[in-house]
Structure 1
Amino acid sequence: MVTIFHWDTPQDLEDEYGGFLSDRIIKDYTEYANFTFQEYGHKVKHWITFNEPWVFSRAGYDIGKKAPGRCSKYIKEHGELCHAGRSGFETYIVSHNLLLAHADAVEAFRSCEKCKGGKIGIAHSPAWFEPHELSQEEHEEHEKHEEHESPAAHLIDFILGWHLNPTTHGDYPQSMKDHVGHRLPKFTEAQKQKLKNSADFVGINYYTSLFALHDEEHDPLKPSWQSDSLIDWEPRYVDRFSAFNSKPDFARVEVYANGLRSLLKYIKDKYNNPEIIITENGYGEDLGEHDTSLVVALSDEHRKYYIQKHLLSLNQAICEDKINVTGYFLWSLMDNFEWQDGYNARFGLYYVDYKNNLTRHEKKSAQWYSNFLLTGPSESELEHDEL
């Protein structure tokens, strides 16, 4: 499975016309995508046009957290670091051009003789959201129910529906139209038809879940994607423990495997039971002062536990909820460069020693996962209900 674009706009195009801020990118991206189809379409049968468009558009052009680091000065945390940008405007322009580029690339793919029998889609990156006002008792009761409606469907529209709704139905979710108004670009009827059903599968990158908090306090003179969604989110703890499940000391996010199942069911119900591929799922650590300790790094029991819990959740989604999941990619094979976090975040099944010739060391999670792929869960795991 090949990802055509993973946030790496050529610098020349950024300098010439602003990259995805200009509709000129549509023609250049489509030519590039078609080149990859012609070169590799006879070998590669699964393609992703764009990785995590929500993150690319919002983090790069609304809050300035990721490249190219554009935002307005009033944005918290990163506003002072942004040298240019217009929050609440550019992020929607970028995604609009991105979606049009996707539609044209898919049209080229479906006309490619070498690509016959292949499939193409987008890798989305939604979290799952639970209501903020969740008491310990409500949480325990909530866990007993396998099926429940999304308590923050409006927020999921802004994260997932923003790009999945156009590639399924041909237009943005109504909630986005209502709240963003004139700042949300419009598709022509021809563009809507080209976008509709322009994905053969839905790629999902899932890592964690959060609590949704309704937020009506926003300044109309300081627009942003966050204020448009009218929702804030945060981790939440009950009696010093995460109300979801757990967040080990070195973990980057809360562990909530049930959120994966809930998210998949939401997509099945709302988007006509599409084919879904889990394009990323994994556990990240910041080991801090222990980063160079092989003893600590290789004993990654929490990563093993994370994988087990999410595979179980995925099994339930497929076998009990009858969700059409056809593939699963664990992120990641080895520790690697994680954008603005550099090499501090470790997601790999294999530890990479950056100070000693990039030597790779097998972690416990790699040992377990390799064995699982060969033989399935062990008898002891089934007997002790470790999964």
Structure 2
Amino acid sequence: MDDISTSTLFIILGVLIVLSAYFSGSETGMMSVNPYRLKHLTNAKNKAALRVTQLLKRPDRLIGLILIGNNLVNIFASTVATIIGVRLYGDYGVAIAPIVLTVVILIFAEVTPKTLAALHPEKVALPTSAVLSVLLKIFYPFVWALNKVTNGLLNLLGVSPERHQGNSLSAEELRTVVYEAGALIPEQHQNMLVGVLDLENATVEDIMIPRNEIVGIDINDEWKDIERQLANFQYSRILLYRDNIDDAIGFVHPRELMRLLIKEQLTKASLLRAASEIYFIPEGTPLNTQLLKFQGAKDRIGLVVDEYGDIQGLVTLADILEEVVGEFTTDIAEDTNEDILAQPDGTFLIDGSINLRDLNREMKMAFPTDGPKTLNGLILEYLEEIPQGQLCVKLAGYPMEIVDVQDNMIKSVRLLVNPKKAAAKKSAH
């Protein structure tokens, strides 16, 4: 390079530093690009996104290409810088050039481009993919040879680039992504998305109407009593049974009831003929599974039975959907939970039969739900006996007073603290 002027060498060095910055930024941009955003652009047939996707299918080849280019450029830059140093400072230039070049490369060819690429990976990765695709074809023999050696070492460690699975998320990771989306996804939509993920963690027992709360009509009652019950029935399906719930007959849709009334044929016999076959649900069925079963069976309601065939409760499609979209009601005036009553002294009177999942959701509490499903069941499990009168206990950190016990059940409990205010006060500290 003796025939090349010093000013020309400076130009060459500047070009080499720019190329080094390009390879450094390309590496960070390609590896930092959002895989789901990239998938979206690929589905939209974006040509640049298709190139990036193709390159990322074999990250070993992409990294090999970038490192070959980056190292070649840096080595040439070191050589040019040394020549410039010798020309300007003589023998001292041999020591000065590497120090100055290291600082320049770190600032302009490493930290700056990589930071820029990390902050805006798509803006870097998409345009640079065109050049990288061409370079990969040109240097493919060198990349192939390099990958043969490195992949051999990786295989010894039990890693295979050919079987690279890409990016995947577990349900817990996806839940974190939804919450971290912040303002990009409204809070209501976040809760709905998380509700879908939570369906696999809950079973029909968690949301069913328990057996003792199932409302139906005993077909063996007097007809006048049955007519009065039909006139005041408030549910979307009418359960018919003989003497007790265990001898359930079927469900009658109000539409069928109206059809019988119009034809003036409403009798016990016609009511029985209008009853549809009962859909039975095994206890322990996950909600996501039951949702698909309801869809497949074209049904909206079913009775939950245990391993002995005994009826344990009732589940509807609306109950499952409420786990996703939140509670909804057909009664406009109904805006409070009758199982939770706020008291003037700041405590809450809670029905013992309340579902723990509903209690946790309504009061922002954290009672365990992997055992008993109701507050009554949780307290009885803790006490290991049925209390004979008023008693104070502390469960999951919440002090409460057992107010009323009837028929071997805890009917009402007084929560002695406001969990919402306590949680807010705790977060403030």
TM-score, normalising length from structure 2? 0.23
Structure number with greater CO (CA < 8 Å, separation at least 6) is 1
The structure that has the greater radius of gyration is 2
Q: What is the TM-score when the length of structure 1 is the normalising length? A: 0.25
